[in-house]
Chain A
Amino acid sequence: MSLSDDEIRQLDAILDHYPDRRAAAGTAMRLLQARRRWLSDEAMADLGEYLGLTVAELDGLATFGNMAFRKPVGRHVVLICDSFACWSLGYAELRAAVEAELGVGMGQTTPDGRFTLLPIVCLGACDRGPAMMVDDELHGPVAPDDVAGILEAYA
């Protein structure tokens, strides 16, 4: 098992939030992803062993959710809202500006491993559309000219 002592300590701490081990699976995946950025096959196997679940059961959850990363991602994840309020307020222009700045398209990672660009549904920030997130930070409204300045801050 490749879970570190520190990871096991953190996982143990969330077990008391739930009446059984299985119910902690979603939170456990989130926790491990937050530490390792993505969930490798090995990580899923270790987590399955730790929780007493099969990898298939865990993958049933991971593939249902839209933000369990089963492939490597860059150091920063950029999410651009593509739902209807942002769409009407300049999603297409924002997306084009981000793609031009990063030199990659949706679903891709920059060659230096710094950014992964992904679509996201409404961020609950329609009043600030067009909106995007970089890691845990919400930005909006973002004009195409703002994009370079915003991304610069993420090394």
Chain B
Amino acid sequence: MTSRPGLPGYPAEDRPFTRAMRADGRPATIDDYIAAGGYEGLRRALDLEPGEITSMVTESGLRGRGGAGYSTGRKWSTMPLGPDAPRPKYIVCNADEMEPGSFKDRFLMERNPHLLLEGMLLAALATESDAGYIFLRQQYDGSAAALEQALAEARGRSYLGKDVLGSGFPFDIQLHESIGRYICGEASAMLNALESQRPNPRARPPHMTGAGLFSRPTVVNNVETYMAVPAILRHGPDWWKGLSVTDEGGTKVFGVAGRVAKPGCVELPMGVPMRELIEVHAGGLLPGYGLRAVCPGGASTAFVAPADLDVPLGFSTMGEARSRLGTGTLVLLDDQTCPVGMLVNMLQFFAQESCGWCTPCREGLQWMASLLEDLEYGRGEPGDIDVLAEGVWFMESDKCFCDLAPGAMQPLESALRLFPEDFARHVEEGGCSYRRRGSDAPAMRGTTW
């Protein structure tokens, strides 16, 4: 699969995220992009009223691709419009992508940067916003280079600047690189980070569309969310709805990582089953490996058992597999890798990345990570598994300030449910007997350089 744009069997026109991508893997230039119909959505939108743009997005059924799946049109419709609205208003793109197991936004930005700029321009027109920021993950140097190039090209041809395409509408976008922590991807923490405040999450209300960046009305969306909008404007919401296998609408960039023949990203209709993604597009598991579970959309999504692989990948369908779509990039747990060891690694991540603001998360995640380490390294005791289950219940039940801690519980809850015999065996046998054991704790956990 190796992250190639689209697939045979799906016509290029039906692949809005990838159709402008170059075969040689370099970023699509502005000419590549325009040749594939790029910036046509913008030209149409310049003749529409802001409310009409938002209505089209709402009708399309587009839901946020950053993980939570909130209706994009509904979010935009809460931005104050008209001459009395507070100014300036901001369009912020969440390009932090630090959750382990998420690997679609980097692929999209490196290969199709103008699509993001056009999507943000459309959001700005729909909400009468004045300026945009792309909040970019610090290690995404390839994305930064592609976006810098695209920004320069777009300014050069007046897609961005003081007078967008001679319409009298001014809009420009700045690239802002994160100082680097997972919590900066949480939308309200991101606004603090953009203001160079210490990036703890903010209390809500107020909602960001009322008082966000610099206390002004602000829309925050994920990279892929903005990238969906140009095709909706160009072809209409009905066309978008017709792309999916289920009734959710659109295509999506999915991915598969793990011991498969062809790992990578691919654009497919929303609603393809996980089985098709793994067996057809990723070429199936490598010889000698079996599948034990799938983490479907980043480390904060629950593992799915092989019995549920026919559940369609979608926001409204993944509940059938007791999980969430999340980012839609699958990481496989194979049968030679210890599930407890994988959970140790995941919980160490969440404990390390807790921003420390609220006690259950700051203390609880460390404690749960160390209980899991005890199990993995042969110090586990019979009651530990019950204590972990109780911890899951506690952290999930609305006692934390943001979604980091409940998210951290998703893989653990599902692992306790799917692999009880593995947990029990770690206690009985005094540690791990898998070939791939847990690695040792990260060397510099909780420290900065």
Contacts and interface: CB of A to CB of B under 8 A. Distances in A.
Interface in A105-143: 105-107, 118-129, 133, 136-138
Contacts of B174: 17
B184 to A, nearest CB: 8
Interface residues of A, number: 54
B448 A66 contact: yes
A26 B179 CA distance: 6
B196 A22 contact: yes
A92 to B, nearest CB: 5
Given A26-B176, A64-B179, A127-B265, A87 B342 contact: yes
A136 B141 contact: yes
A84 interface: yes
A126 B257 contact: yes
Interface string A1-27: 000000000000000010110111111
A32 to B, nearest CB: 13
A65 B447 CA distance: 10
5 closest A-B pairs (Cβ-Cβ)?
Answer: A65-B179, A106-B443, A83-B100, A136-B141, A126-B257
Nearest to B1: A127
B101 interface: yes
A84 B346 contact: yes
Interface of A: 17, 19-20, 22-27, 29-30, 60-71, 73, 79, 82-85, 87-89, 91-92, 95, 105-107, 118-129, 133, 136-138
Contacts of B101: 83-85, 122, 126
Among B101, B137, B179, chain A packs the most CB atoms within 10 A around the CB of: B179
Given A84-B299, A136-B141, A61 B198 contact: yes
Nearest to A105: B443
A64 B199 contact: yes
A81 to B, nearest CB: 9
Given A127-B3, A128-B263, A67 B179 contact: yes
